[in-house]
């Protein structure tokens, strides 16, 4: 209920204007966002790499309503791939289809994604297509499955809160498409998604087991220690080598756990968002943990 209220409030324009315009909230956003420029993101990646942690760079932006902006996003991702290659950082990229124009025109979005995938293929780099709200799930799974025939370097994300996810996971396993498994961060209707966290967590473990046993290099993306312990237990019990999967976490969240897993020899990758369009991303991080909101607000009003 709290998560729903937080996501609803975040959509109010007056709140958005306040948060984006306020110096203190902007500073606090830096806990979750590496910076506004690509160079700041590369700097954050270098620091994580130094601690044996890989990175996925996300150029923030979503629900673009202008074709020119969608093309500019694809160009920015090509520049990001060039910069990753030139700097030698261990990083791949995460993209959102609505940032590449999905709300405007499916063909435009496909062409933009293909432009990014072609450059990534030249560098043997991996591209993860993030999963957005449930209006986009069907298209995202279909597009990634289709493009995977031509570009083996593309994968996507499955959310354990959706009832449909076992079918999607089974299909993607069959096709050899890499899956990042998450719980899901959007506001969804109970006709489409489990409303109770216990069910979301239970389905997560079910899907994680399938991916660890039969998937191609799955990414177990969670900060939930109980689930991480279960992943390690399943991998050990089924002889799944550490090199065959990775743990993923978000920039600025549970750094202690990221480092602990890396020190134990597990592959760990951190999702590093950067760019000026950080507000929707920040609101999802607030909604996941209302204590973050209290932290931000108390720092804001102390100024
Ligand atoms: P859960 O919410 O149960 O949290 C477990 C513990 O983690 C908490 O008790 C707390 O300690 C810590 N924690 C979790 N969130 C926190 C926060 N915001 N601040 C501080 N501590 C926090 N979603 C999506 O819909 N599409 C996507 O493409 C992605 N991509 C993605 C990539 C990566 C690498 C990660 C880790 C996550 C995503 N997500 C996502 C977000 C995901 O759906 C989910 O909302 C968050 O990961 C939070 O859920 P947990 O699995 O961490 O569990």
Cα distance from N-terminal residue to C-terminal residue, the chain: 30
Does the pLDDT value for residue 190 go beyond 90?
yes
**Cα 180 from Cα 166, distance rounded (Å):** 14
Q: Are 118 and 140 in contact (CB under 8 A)?
A: no
Region 18-35: mean pLDDT is 84
Determine the pLDDT at residue 303: 42
**238 phi and psi, to 5 degrees?**
-105, 10
Instruction: Report angle CA 219, 141, 170 to the nearest 5 degrees.
Output: 65
Of the candidates 144, 141, 56, 128, which has an alpha carbon nearest to the alpha carbon of residue 96? 128
Q: Are 276 and 60 in contact (CB under 8 A)?
A: yes
Tell me the CA–centroid distance for residue 288 and ligand 1, in Å.
7
Tell me the CA–centroid distance for residue 101 and ligand 1, in Å.
25
Position in ligand 1 atom list of the atom nearest CA 197:
3
Domain assignment present for residue 135? The answer is yes
**Cα 192 from Cα 283, distance rounded (Å):** 22
**Cα 114 from Cα 111, distance rounded (Å):** 5
pLDDT confidence band for 49 (50 / 70 / 90): very high
Burial class from Cβ neighbours inside 10 Å (0-12, 13-18, 19+) for residue 294 reads exposed
Indicate the DSSP class of residue 278.
Answer: -
Tell me the CA–centroid distance for residue 286 and ligand 1, in Å.
11
Tell me the CA–centroid distance for residue 149 and ligand 1, in Å.
30
Nearest CA to ligand 1 atom 15: 288
CATH number of the CATH domain containing 114: 3.20.20.220
User: What pLDDT, in 10s, does the model give residues 266-296?
Assistant: 999 999 999 988 888 988 888 888 777 666 6
The per-residue pLDDT of the chain, averaged, comes to 93
Nearest CA to ligand 1 atom 1: 224
Position in ligand 1 atom list of the atom nearest CA 186:
25
Domain assignment present for residue 128? The answer is yes
In 3-state terms the chain splits into helix, strand, coil percentages (rounded to 5) of 55, 15, 30
Domain assignment present for residue 6? The answer is no
Which among 187, 222, 261, 269 is the best mutation to test ligand 1's pocket, defined by most ligand atoms within 8 Å of the CB? 222
Share of the chain above pLDDT 70, in %: 95
Nearest CA to ligand 1 atom 36: 249
Domain assignment present for residue 105? The answer is yes
Position in ligand 1 atom list of the atom nearest CA 157:
28
Domain assignment present for residue 282? The answer is no
Q: Which residue has the higher pLDDT, 189 or 9?
A: 189
User: What pLDDT, in 10s, does the model give residues 151-176?
Assistant: 999 999 999 999 999 999 999 999 99
Region 69-93: mean pLDDT is 97
Tell me the CA–centroid distance for residue 12 and ligand 1, in Å.
23
Instruction: Report angle CA 241, 242, 243 to the nearest 5 degrees.
Output: 90
The lowest-confidence range among 70-84, 221-235, 267-281 is: 267-281
Of these residues, 119, 180, 269, 285, which one is catalytic? 180
Q: Which residue has the higher pLDDT, 52 or 21?
A: 52
Side-chain-facing half-sphere of 173: CA atoms under 13 Å = 17
Domain assignment present for residue 168? The answer is yes
Collapsing DSSP states into helix, strand and coil, what is residue 247?
strand
Question: Model's pTM, two decimal places?
Answer: 0.94
Tell me the CA–centroid distance for residue 3 and ligand 1, in Å.
13
Residue entry with tokens 């900060």: 223
**Cα 270 from Cα 28, distance rounded (Å):** 19
Of these residues, 130, 168, 201, 285, which one is catalytic? 130
User: What pLDDT, in 10s, does the model give residues 95-152?
Assistant: 999 999 999 999 999 999 999 999 999 999 999 999 999 999 999 999 999 999 999 9
| Structural domain for 95, as ranges | 33-277
Domain assignment present for residue 265? The answer is yes
**Cα 254 from Cα 256, distance rounded (Å):** 5
Nearest CA to ligand 1 atom 45: 185
Region 66-72: mean pLDDT is 97
Total domains, the chain: 1
> Could you confirm whether 11 is annotated as catalytic?
no
> Could you confirm whether 83 is annotated as catalytic?
no
Domain assignment present for residue 250? The answer is yes
List of E strands, 160-280: 179-182, 219-221, 246-250, 268-274
Of the candidates 249, 274, 277, 253, which has an alpha carbon nearest to the alpha carbon of residue 62? 277
User: What pLDDT, in 10s, does the model give residues 118-132?
Assistant: 999 999 999 999 999
Determine the pLDDT at residue 249: 98
Determine the pLDDT at residue 279: 87
Pocket of ligand 1 (CB under 6 A): 130-131, 157, 159, 182-186, 221-224, 248-250, 253-254, 271, 285, 288-289, 292
């Amino acid at each position: 209920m709290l998560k729903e209220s937080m996501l609803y409030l975040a959509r109010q324009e007056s709140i958005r204007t306040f948060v984006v315009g306020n110096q203190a909230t902007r500073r606090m956003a830096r806990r979750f966002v590496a910076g506004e420029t690509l160079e700041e993101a590369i700097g954050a990646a270098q620091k994580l790499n130094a601690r044996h942690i890989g990175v996925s760079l996300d150029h923030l932006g979503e629900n673009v309503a202008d074709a020119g902006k969608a093309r500019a996003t694809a160009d920015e991702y090509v520049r990001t791939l060039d910069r990753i290659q030139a700097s030698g950082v261990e990083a791949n990229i995460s993209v959102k289809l609505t940032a590449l124009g999905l709300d405007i025109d499916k063909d435009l979005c496909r062409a933009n994604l293909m432009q990014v995938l072609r450059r990534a293929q030249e560098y043997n780099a991996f591209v993860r297509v993030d999963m957005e709200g449930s209006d986009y799930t069907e298209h995202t799974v279909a597009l990634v499955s289709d493009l995977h025939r031509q570009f083996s370097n593309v994968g996507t994300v499955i959310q354990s809160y959706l009832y449909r996810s076992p079918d999607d996971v089974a299909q993607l396993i069959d096709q050899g498409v890499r899956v990042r498994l998450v719980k899901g961060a959007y506001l969804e209707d109970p006709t489409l998604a489990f409303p109770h966290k216990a069910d979301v967590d239970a389905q997560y473990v079910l899907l994680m087991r399938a991916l660890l046993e039969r998937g191609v290099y799955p990414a177990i993306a969670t900060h939930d220690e109980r689930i991480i312990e279960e992943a390690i237990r399943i991998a050990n019990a089924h002889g799944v080598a550490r090199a065959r999967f990775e743990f993923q976490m978000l920039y600025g969240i549970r750094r202690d756990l990221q480092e602990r897993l890396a020190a134990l020899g597990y592959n760990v990758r951190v999702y590093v968002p950067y760019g000026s369009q950080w507000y929707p991303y920040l609101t999802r991080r607030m909604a996941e943990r209302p204590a973050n909101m209290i932290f931000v607000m108390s720092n804001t009003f102390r100024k």
